[in-house]
Structure 1
């Protein structure tokens, strides 16, 4: 049985003046699933995430339908999209460097604090259980953390907002392989907690390994899509994004 769509776009376009950044993208993220978006630098992956969040980094125009849980959110502001359960962890991470790790995390729960929600403490303990190093460093200023710890903090802060759909932009960027493995282990567990994921990632191998469905974005268009396991064995994906070693492994299997 096909899961219900939590997020769907139909002919989503982004223009910066006369420059067409996204000519028209159609994608779907199902509830309780991980979808990944892979492709070369400059393909428009980050632009797509920012358009979905309503947070285009440059003055531009976005057209096309964005449906979130059956509602058209195209005209909603960033805070309104956040309140409905849409959350983006940008590539830049955007932490408050002079604030402590714990204060950064608590800020992630600001929507629920306004409602005097007493679950914030349990949410905090849940994040610490996922990332024990953050608990060890909870009183440190965020700017003193390593790159991997900053990424953990950015992801943990997003989880404090209790997202229904978490969008991640290059979570493995600049991280050591061991930290990348830890990060993807956490990401793979999120659907079991009721959180759908849209993952933009240069590490196509790791992304397709944890995803249920994948899209290949090239020059602003989806050139290929399908179940992630199928894409892992697609010759075009292997040659362009997974490397020749994967092709050799396929041949010898």
Structure 2
């Protein structure tokens, strides 16, 4: 079966500084694949290169392949049209618009291309996120941090993506809300969407993922089934905070 996403030997440079050095990964249908690593490792750079949202100053080499289609030189809008959605770290909601209007913007491409049922995902989103339905007439800027993350996820789902990319979905959220967000991510997988999850919260990410990669200083240093990566002594010591204390 052709993977949903293949990233092959991806390099990203800003001027003479290379932020990503030959990163490769694969996301299969219905999989949650996570990339963990410290701040500044290049995780968000990698996601932005895949999505085509890097600033003009970023030079990209390597191949990004979505469902067998090479995306080199393909603009952001066309990548979304091919089935890719990114939920950025900063969520980037329209604060003065209502929850429902923000969601409808997520289906704009489908509406623009003449799909009659472009709003059919609204019911799916409201079923996944009942709080969004309760607050559908509220301005997005009045929501709590957890609700804003739910709205960002819901907006991305309105495009009916094959691949959903999440950039630090737990960032800035209270522990109980983080737990809820990751439960929702597992439910999203059950809808059939493939998920590429970039996350600093290694413990939470490895619990929900099928496969995991560790990115450090721009290089993939470890990969494997998530449970295997979670049991790696270096990962335990560095990312899970369970290393043996030394005197």
TM-score normalized by the length of structure 1: 0.93
What is the Cα deviation at residue 176 of structure 1?
1.3
Residues 107 and 119, structure 2, Cα contact 8 Å, conserved in 1:
no
Distance 1:117 1:157 in 2: 17
What is the Cα deviation at residue 118 of structure 1?
3.7
What is the Cα deviation at residue 191 of structure 1?
2.4
- Describe the SS at the equivalent of 1:190: helix
What is the Cα deviation at residue 128 of structure 1?
0.8
Residues 16 and 58, structure 1, Cα contact 8 Å, conserved in 2:
no
Q: Residue in 1 aligned with 2:128?
A: 130
Distance 1:88 1:28 in 2: 16
Residues 97 and 141, structure 1, Cα contact 8 Å, conserved in 2:
yes
Q: Residue in 2 aligned with 1:160?
A: 158
Q: Residue in 2 aligned with 1:112?
A: 110
What 5-or-longer segments of structure 2 have no aligned partner? none
Residues 100 and 141, structure 1, Cα contact 8 Å, conserved in 2:
yes
- Describe the SS at the equivalent of 2:4: strand
Q: Residue in 2 aligned with 1:59?
A: 57
Residues 36 and 215, structure 1, Cα contact 8 Å, conserved in 2:
yes
Matched, 1:40 2:41: no
Higher helix share: 1
Distance 1:165 1:126 in 2: 17
What is the Cα deviation at residue 65 of structure 1?
1.1
TM-score normalized by the length of structure 2: 0.95
Runs of 4+ in structure 1 displaced over 6 angstroms?
Answer: none
Q: Residue in 2 aligned with 1:238?
A: 236
RMSD between aligned residues: 1.4
Distance 2:56 2:92 in 1: 17
Distance 1:58 1:140 in 2: 36
Paired residue total: 245
Instruction: Pick closer, same or farther for the CA change 1:121–1:60 going to 2, 3 Å.
Output: closer
Distance 2:55 2:26 in 1: 23
For residues 12-53 of structure 1, what are the alpha-carbon distances to aligned partners after superposition, in whole Å with 9 as ceiling and x for unaligned? 100111001111111111111010000000000000000001
Distance 2:230 2:3 in 1: 23
Matched, 1:212 2:210: yes
For residues 137-170 of structure 1, what are the alpha-carbon distances to aligned partners after superposition, in whole Å with 9 as ceiling and x for unaligned? 1111111111111000000000001110000000
Q: How do 1:1-253 and structure 2 match up within 5 A? A: 4-57=2-55, 59-244=57-242
Distance 1:73 1:93 in 2: 24
- Describe the SS at the equivalent of 1:12: strand
Distance 2:84 2:97 in 1: 24
Deviates more, 1:91-100 or 1:178-187: 178-187
